[in-house]
Structure formats: C-alpha cells, structure tokens
Structure 1
C-alpha cells in the first residue's frame, strides 16, 4: 500500500490538503496529542539541593500508620542480581525524622527467615531520602533467597530474590514492563506478575514514573487553557492524583513522586517477589528527553537541564535497587550461564542527539521538505548511544559465549514506516487523511480500482515515512551500526522495547535486507495506547491492518489498545514471547490472559508462530 520513499518526489508534493470536502467534517474532529501540550508553565524552578531532606516539606512523609520509632511504608525490593550477590532495598521512615537510622538486614534460605546465610547493619539518613541499598555478597548461584530489614524493633515484610545461574542453563524466564502511569489506572500488570513464582528476573524498560502534574496548559483558538494532564482524566475518581500536584523538576519533588508510586501495593508486591533489572526512559526525567534537554523542559521557567537531569538520576538510584558506581551510567550486562547475556542500554540520556521534528520540515505552502528531512535523517553523526556505549556493547557482544544476546532498552527498533497521509493526520487532524478514510480508499482499491478518483489515487501514491522519530527510526545510522555489530558477532539477537504503550513484534533487518534479529515490544502497564488518539476506529481493525501498512513487511504483530506485560522464555533452542493483557485498569479487580505468543528459533533471526 506504500512505495519506497523518493525524497525528490516527496519534496514537491503538498501534503496538507489530501482530504476531499466531503471528508473534512470527520477529519477535523479534535484528537489528543501530548506533543501539543505546553508543559510546566506554572512549575517551580527552585534551586537544586541534593543534600536537602526529602521529608521536611513532604505531606507523604509518613505514608501510613506509625507502628513505632520507624516504619517500612514503601516495602522492600531486590535488584541487579549476579551469581553471588544481589542488591537489597528499603526505605526506613523515622517518626522523629532524626538525621540517621540504623537498619539490620538479614538473608535466609527459607521464607521463615530461620536459616540466615548473611546479615549486617547499615545506616540511612535524610541525605538519601531515608532509602537504603545493600550489596549483599557471599551467596550461591541460581538460588532463591529471602530477606528482611529491621530497625528499632520494627521489621519489614519478607522479600524473595534469586541469584543468577552459571554453567549450562536450560531455561530463563523474564517478565518485561514499561510505562507505568499512576493517574492512568491501577497497576494490574504488576499485580499479575507478582503472583507468579516461575519468573527469574523482572526487566523494567523505563517510564517507571511520569513527571507530569495534574493539569497542563494547552493552546486553543482563543489562547491558553488549563486542562487535565496527560492520562489523568480518571485520576481523581480513582484516588490516584499525582503528588506533588505540579510537574516535578527538583530533587524534592522527584522524591515525592517516587514516594507515591512506591506506595502502590501492586508495585510493592512485585518488588517483593523477584529481583528487578531496570533502566530509565524519558519520563523519569521529562517527555522526549535527550542528552542536552527535553521536549518537556523549559530552561527559562524550570532552570538548568543539567540540574534537573542530576536530580532525576539521583532520585532514580535512590528509589530503585540498582548497583550504580557512576550516577549517569545505567548500562550493564547480566549473564545467565551459557544461555543468555542481557545487556541493559541507555538510548535516552547518555548519547542521544535531539530528535527530529516533522514540524521543522513543512514549508509555508504545506509541502514537505523531503530532501532536507531525509538528508538529516541519514546523517552518520546523528547519535543515539554515544561512542562509549557503542564500544561497550561491541565488547560485550564479542566476549559473550551465551546462546542469546538480549538488549534491554527503551525504544522501538523495528522499521515502522507508514503512509505519510496517515502520519500527517496523527500529528494534525486537519492534515493528511484520517485512518478510517484511508482504509476505505484501500478497500475501494482492492474491490474496484477503476472507481478510484484522482484524489484517492494521489493519496495511495504517497510514500511511507517513519511514524516515530523519537524511536530508532529517527536515528537510522545508529541502528545500522548496532545491527552491524550483531551481524558481525553472529548473535542470536533479541531486542526488548517499551516506550510506545503498544505491543509489537518485528523482524530486524539491516540496510541490505538481511535478517539480523527480532524485536519483542511490551505494551504499557497503564499508559494509554493508540486507542486514545484513534478513538474513531475499532482497535482490533487498526492493529490487524498495521502489518500491511508498515513498509517492508517486517511488522509481525501489533496490539494497540490493551495494557499488560511480556513473558520472555529462553531455552537453548528458542526464545518465546507471551503478551499478557489485563482486562481493565480502571476497575480495582481484573482478569488476565495471554493475547499472543510468538517465538524465534536459534539461528533463524525471524519471528514464527508457536507450533510452526
């Protein structure tokens, strides 16, 4: 339905007037687009103070009833497991807010905490928001352990964790999450995964929190208007309005937001059940963040980007069970014996250049500056990983002897080019062609091509362009370099992705069309998918049509309206992905089911149905 892009052809075609008068009424309906929001005009740009006490001005300080001198109101967690060690986490809230708190930690081989294998004492204080992380060593590989904290006679709940295996490994199971938006609805995906006892490690691909406030200013025909913030329409009714009420930009406010998220019982249950390996994405900082700024950061109103970035990184490492020696470095690898090497990457902050914006390539007459756009798109110096991270990944791929090389990273890597009239309409309802209209034209072409009007023929002739310039599609040279690394090292490459709020499965091909690997992308925990922006088309119909709309035939699966998580099961012969979806994030009860199962066999680098 779409032909390869001819930049010269695209440059001379006006793309702003592809809708006939009879179609204009439906096309002009307003749609939700988070990129139209004007973020943070009322946000404070208070001076950053990393040593400031996070609780002094925090109405969530207690977080629950006080059962003594201290409380463990935010549960416990473990993360970054290795073969002989694991990180343990908790937050100890002192009733008197004293400067420091002593905490005992214990690790046992049984759930009753009777067989202690390691223990010790640590101290936390207001300097790190009374969070506590302990790197526990002297453990055995591939072993389930239980742990607990105690302070001033008060004990935390008991957590369960597991170390990584060594040698020959027959199976590893990962649960993969992304995009948990507190005001959007309940974290049922976390609750469902927490019930499972067969998961070795949780992998969180970012957007663990969101930075938005309760309201935003939007541009209208009559000026600026305050409206409910992104994904917050039901927040008040659900009792899930964000704290603080404004967009977060300072260390104290990032801490308050983590405080609220980590008070969620479903998230606490998840962390108590298995270790987590995580990376950040943009919303731990701000929307569409990159190395030198973000779409949702205004320096004149919100202060220095470097200060905000440092505040966000500090709070992230305080509240997540990461093992970090350098605060701005989130890249690290985890080896599961000879079966799997999991490489956690940063496609967001370390090396990313500012994303391209289609709005910068539209001429005054509405035509698209195709030559300029594609010239910028393919520039070899447009960075996404940065040279240090790219060299690190090359070394990891070269030295690993594991069967599977899995990349835990944030953004969609598959080539997702769709007909330009659709993309233009996504960005501006008064441009391009709305999805239902485009589908009608395609159906007409298939049933009675001789009846197509000149305008309809013109619409079908339009080339495909990348749907998401914030993804790897906006950094084609960086993607080519990474896929070349995988191909050179003969890797069985599996890429995990999040960020889009929709579920995807892609075959990954290099610039020559050679199969290099596959991509499994998880839906969101609660953030809305395409169903919010394309409410006038049945989601099942849209998802079913997408593989035919995407250029190249590499998209193998899409689900654009259900929330959930992925189960990734790896064996010496195959890697299987199950997309688990929950029924309703706006109700306190839910059901869950596997919506799709796909796999890649070792050595094939292409997605197949299970049973084929």
Structure 2
C-alpha cells in the first residue's frame, strides 16, 4: 500500500490514500478551493451535531461525511479525520487534517482510496476537544470475486412530519453490507395538511429561514438556507444518525429533495407553475443534497445550468451484482399531458385517460421524428449510459436503483362501475325475493357492463338504457321483475349511483411514474429482450406502498411478456398511497361515488378495498399493500433474490411502537425467471 497520503480538491470532494502512518495530509494546487493548499485550516469547532456518514462503497474506496459545528460563518473550522481497521483506532490508516468551510455549510465529504476490498473500517472526526461518534463502514467486494451472498436494505420517503422513524432503529441493528436510498430523504414542504397531527412527539414542527407560502398555508423550501435547514433538522434525529454510522449508503434523489412531482428545474404546485423555470431554486436544492450526502459525485458551481451535477452512477459487488442508480428528475421531460392542458394534477399526473395519454405521447414523438426526446424520464445521454451499463454487466444480477415504479397501474372505469352497481343491486334484489347465485351475479355484472359501455356519455352525466340488464333480470326472476317494476323500483337507484361521464374510460392512476412515459419504458424493455439481458430487478420507492411484480415488454399487448421485476418499498414514514386516494374520494365530488373502490366502512372501521382494486385491474401485481409505511430487506445469492417487506406499525401515544415492525411479507425472484413468488 502506498504510504504517502495526499489531498486534492475537486468540487469540494477531498481525497486521501490510506496508509499505515500518522502523517497529516497537505497539498493541493493553484486551482484549489478556499481552504486548500496554502490557506489556514481555520478555528476549532465545537462538535459534530449531525453525526457522521459514509457512502458509495467501491472495492478500494469509500466517501466519508460530517458537518462541523461552531463555525462563525466567516472562518474555516479545523477538522481531523481518522480511519482505522480497528474499532479502538489503535492503528490509523488515515489521520488527515481537513478544513470545513462556511461556503459549504461546514460539511466535509472526504474520499479515502487505497482500501482493501470487502473490508470493515472505522472512522471518526475531531475538532478542538470534540470527537464525533464512531462510524463503521465497509468496502465492496472486488469486481469479479466469487460472492455467495449480499445483504442490503432499500428505503425511501422519510417525511419528518408523518408517522415515525422506528424503522431506522431496526435497520441499524441488521447485519447489512449497505443501504440504498431511493430519494425523498427530505420533504421540501413544512406545515402542509398531510404533515399535521400525525407525527411522533420527538419530531417538533419544522420551520424554514425563508420559504415561500402556498395558497393552502404550507411553506416550501426556496433558498439554499431553506434546504440546508431541512437536512440539518433531519440529521438531528439520533436514529438516522445511527443508521448512517452503521452502514455505507448509496443514495439518489427523487422529487421532494427539490419540489413535489418536479421535472428538470420546474415545480408543479399549481397548474401553471412549471411554465417558468426555477433554476436558482433547483441549483440550491442540488447543492444542499451534495453537501449532505456521502456521494462520490461532483458539483460544478461555475456551471450556470441547473444540470451542474451528475448523480447517476453504478456499483459492482463481486461477481454477484451490478447496481445501476439513475436520476429520474433532472433530465425528464414535462409530463406527457401538461397541467396547463388538464387544468390540474387530475388528468395530467393522476387519474389520466389512458387513450388520451397514448395519443399525446405519440404526437410528441412524431413532432421530433419518432424519437423519445420529449417523452423521456432518463434523457438521451443517461438512457444510453443505462443501456451500456446493463449490457456490459458481467454479474449474475443487475439491480436498478429506480425512483418511480415501472409497474402498470391501470384502471377500467366502466368495469369498475359495473362491479359497484352489481354490489349495490344484489342486496336490493334479495329484498324483492330474488337471491342470485354467484354465476347469476357474474351474469348481472356482465349485462351492466354492456349497458354502461353503450351509454351516452356526451354530457356530464351518463344516460344508460339498460337494454341488457332489464331483460336479464326478467329472465332470472321468472318474470317477477317486469319492465315496469324495473323502471320504477330499480332504474332510479342505478341512475343515482352513476358517477360522472368522465369516469367511463380506461385510466392510468399515476402518470408521474413510468406509466406516464410508456414509450421509453417499452424501449428499455425491448433493449433488454433484444440483448438477452436477464436477472434485472428494479429497486423502487416514491409511491408510498409495497408492490412486487414483473415488468412487461408491452402492457397493452394481447399477451404481454415479462422482462424484468420491479420491487417497490413503502415510504419509511410518508403518508400511504391509500390515504391519498381516500382523501380524493372523500373530498372531490366527481370521485365520491367511486368510494367503494377505495374503502368501505364496517362497524365504524375503515376497510381498505384499494389494494384489491389495484390487483383486480392489474394481474401482474403479485403483491400489493397500498396502506403501509416501512422498508425492504434484500438477501441476494447466485440462486435467488429474497425481499422482506417490513410494514411498520402506527404511532402509539405519539411514539414509535416497539418493535416498529408490525408484519413482514417476503417475495422471491429466482435466477433466470422474471417473475415474483409471494411466500
């Protein structure tokens, strides 16, 4: 091992080579940032209140992080980093003098190279009389090295102001190689309605130094100081600190590190928001993420673009796994149907008419010669990189750190209404002396579907003739339910139960995820099939629910074929997908009659029907829990991938339950088969 140590500056990521001596690093060059070669290291700090962290494990390197307290906003703070392969630091491999700068909020990201592969190391930071907590980290196995097992967790969506963070205590006590964080590490809003009244007492209400107020009273982070304050608050939690100190983390962002459902440098709080770029806000969000994540990436503040940072990158773990992490916000096109066209997020991002979405996507592609330029999540350059990473990977498994779900989540409104009408009509018929068998109930639903499909939906309220339903009931009742009785006793109730005409269509539930960028999803699946690339599994977050299922080559084909698998973890603490849809049917009159598709009430208790609705309309969804918070634990071997979805319990008296996990559901993916087995 090279016994020399050196320090270099590049986008404020410093680096040194591990050695056996105790000599502090020096060096740098004429291009060093302030605090590099030739400048004073600064004053002593008072401690490290946000803890320590490590990330981006490679076979020979790791990135280490901390933030020094006690700066005066003008001078640098002197910090010493020590790294050892011994928990008591009796022999130091790194003992380097660093300088935490006010321009970077006194954060330090230091890359240590020259390390052994698959090795455990310990690290700490010192300033003045203060010593940080000890961090433990681990390098990746050497590329190509035989590997019998890999264990890791993947997490996302940890809203400070919702439910609890008991999951972090459990994760820190696991025996893991690393943590994958899929984004929404912070939430940019404070004081929103969904962030009120449902969080643990140890998490006080957050405030922002500046912020911008929305019409609903919430404020959202706008300045660099705002975003920095959120990371500081989140990192003040001892459980999150413990998690970072226990394992290296491989992190990407999703939307809330900048702005909800964002694309490029555009925000989406109102229907017209994204008409104007928010370049300064986007750059501030990116800088705060860079400052606070132990990621082996660079930020170029001299580049005036909002795309002045690249976070997509890949990792290799022996001969077992390649992990490809993508950025699905910074390069993505506008939502296929813009909010300005739909008038709101309904019809643009959520509950979007499937045929209209496909037509607009095709039109956008035609306008650019048939390419994906304006209908892409990844962007041209990143998509080509992703393809190359998948093709060149020589490992058994190809894992994809993917922010938004690849699984189709569709919904046929006509079928759904026919089902709802049948559920309501069957008890009424029983009261009239006609108790239907299950086959007869199926016949009734089929007749109602035909009538609804033929309905006149030109107006806001559908007009249905029931030319199939009425004769069927007459037959089933032996003539007891005549046309006259149907028109007086049954038809008025059916008509009153009909939702607005717009409901009689096929819908995509969430066009902010890959369902809204179907052409690019199909292109990626076509590439995997054409290249014969097998054993691809996406690790996904964002949607605040657990999902598992195969990703099809073309969900609209008569017989779709599975290509890869998508495993989706619920948010650590964020409001569930179910709660969002429950709020819609409870508060939006146009959707109120769809309430039974989301939930029912039995003896005063809410019963989730949304999970079964999703599976009824999407047969590839092999496992769904739409009302959950939690995390996912993966055990990977050459023969299979085993994923344990840990669903955590709800608050108990303002505190996290102990244990935090309320239930566990395990799914498996066997090598060579893009399918999911639910245990």
The interval holding the TM-score normalised by the smaller chain is 0.7 to 0.9
User: When the two structures are superposed, what TM-score results if normalisation uses the length of structure 2?
Assistant: 0.70
Cα displacement (A) at 1:459: 5.2
Cα displacement (A) at 1:354: 2.9
1:570 is the counterpart of 2:570: no
What SS is found at the alignment partner of 1:173?
A: strand
What SS is found at the alignment partner of 2:383?
A: helix
Tell me which residue corresponds to 1:255.
228
Tell me which residue corresponds to 2:617.
549
Structure 1 residues 130 and 453 mapped into 2: Cα distance closer, same or farther (>3 Å)? same
Cα displacement (A) at 1:377: 3.5
Tell me which residue corresponds to 1:478.
520
Distance 2:231 2:293 in 1: 9
What SS is found at the alignment partner of 2:236?
A: coil
What SS is found at the alignment partner of 1:520?
A: strand
Distance 1:437 1:207 in 2: 40
Structure 1 residues 269 and 237 mapped into 2: Cα distance closer, same or farther (>3 Å)? closer
- 1:214-270 CA deviation, whole Å, 9 max, x = no partner? 14xxxxxxxxxxxxx333233596643122173101111110111111111111111
Structure 1 residues 112 and 545 mapped into 2: Cα distance closer, same or farther (>3 Å)? same
1:295 is the counterpart of 2:262: no
- Mean Cα deviation higher: 594-603 or 237-246: 237-246
Structure 1 residues 514 and 90 mapped into 2: Cα distance closer, same or farther (>3 Å)? same
Distance 1:240 1:408 in 2: 32
Structure 1 residues 236 and 178 mapped into 2: Cα distance closer, same or farther (>3 Å)? closer
Tell me which residue corresponds to 1:376.
360
Structure 1 residues 408 and 589 mapped into 2: Cα distance closer, same or farther (>3 Å)? same
- 1:541-584 CA deviation, whole Å, 9 max, x = no partner? 4324432222xx21100011121100111111111111012112
Distance 1:441 1:249 in 2: 53
Tell me which residue corresponds to 1:214.
191
- Mean Cα deviation higher: 325-334 or 377-386: 377-386
Structure 2 unmatched runs, 5+? 1-32, 34-43, 212-218, 300-307, 366-370, 428-435, 455-503, 583-598, 601-605
Distance 1:395 1:350 in 2: 18
Structure 1 residues 450 and 390 mapped into 2: Cα distance closer, same or farther (>3 Å)? closer
Q: How does 1:398-409 map to 2 (within 5 A)?
A: 398-409=391-402
Q: How does 1:54-73 map to 2 (within 5 A)?
A: 69-73=45-49
Tell me which residue corresponds to 1:140.
116
Tell me which residue corresponds to 1:232.
196
Distance 2:96 2:512 in 1: 45
What SS is found at the alignment partner of 1:191?
A: helix
- Mean Cα deviation higher: 274-283 or 486-495: 486-495
Cα displacement (A) at 1:94: 1.2
Structure 1 residues 439 and 292 mapped into 2: Cα distance closer, same or farther (>3 Å)? farther
Q: 1:182 aligns with which of 160, 167, 171?
A: 160
Equivalenced residue count is 517
Q: Compare relative contact order (CA 8 Å, sep 6+) and give the higher one, 1 or 2.
A: 1
- Mean Cα deviation higher: 482-491 or 370-379: 370-379
- Mean Cα deviation higher: 296-305 or 198-207: 296-305
User: Is the 2:336–2:357 contact (alpha carbons within 8 Å) kept by the matching residues of 1?
Assistant: no
Structure 1 residues 272 and 278 mapped into 2: Cα distance closer, same or farther (>3 Å)? same
User: Is the 2:407–2:550 contact (alpha carbons within 8 Å) kept by the matching residues of 1?
Assistant: yes
Structure 1 unmatched runs, 5+? 1-50, 52-67, 216-228, 423-431
- Mean Cα deviation higher: 105-114 or 76-85: 105-114
Q: 1:151 aligns with which of 127, 132, 135?
A: 127
Structure 1 residues 435 and 570 mapped into 2: Cα distance closer, same or farther (>3 Å)? farther
Tell me which residue corresponds to 2:645.
579
Tell me which residue corresponds to 1:64.
none
What SS is found at the alignment partner of 1:81?
A: strand
Tell me which residue corresponds to 2:317.
336
- 1:113-137 CA deviation, whole Å, 9 max, x = no partner? 2232222121111100111110011
Q: How does 1:194-593 map to 2 (within 5 A)?
A: 194-196=172-174, 198-215=175-192, 229-235=193-199, 239-244=203-208, 246-296=219-269, 304-326=277-299, 327-356=308-337, 360=341, 372-378=356-362, 379=365, 380-381=371-372, 382-420=375-413, 448-452=441-445, 458=451, 462-487=504-529, 488-511=531-554, 513-535=560-582, 536-537=599-600, 538=606, 541-550=609-618, 553-585=619-651, 586-591=654-659, 592-593=661-662
Structure 1 residues 359 and 288 mapped into 2: Cα distance closer, same or farther (>3 Å)? same
Which protein has the larger Cα radius of gyration, Structure 1 or Structure 2?
A: 2
User: Is the 1:494–1:517 contact (alpha carbons within 8 Å) kept by the matching residues of 2?
Assistant: yes
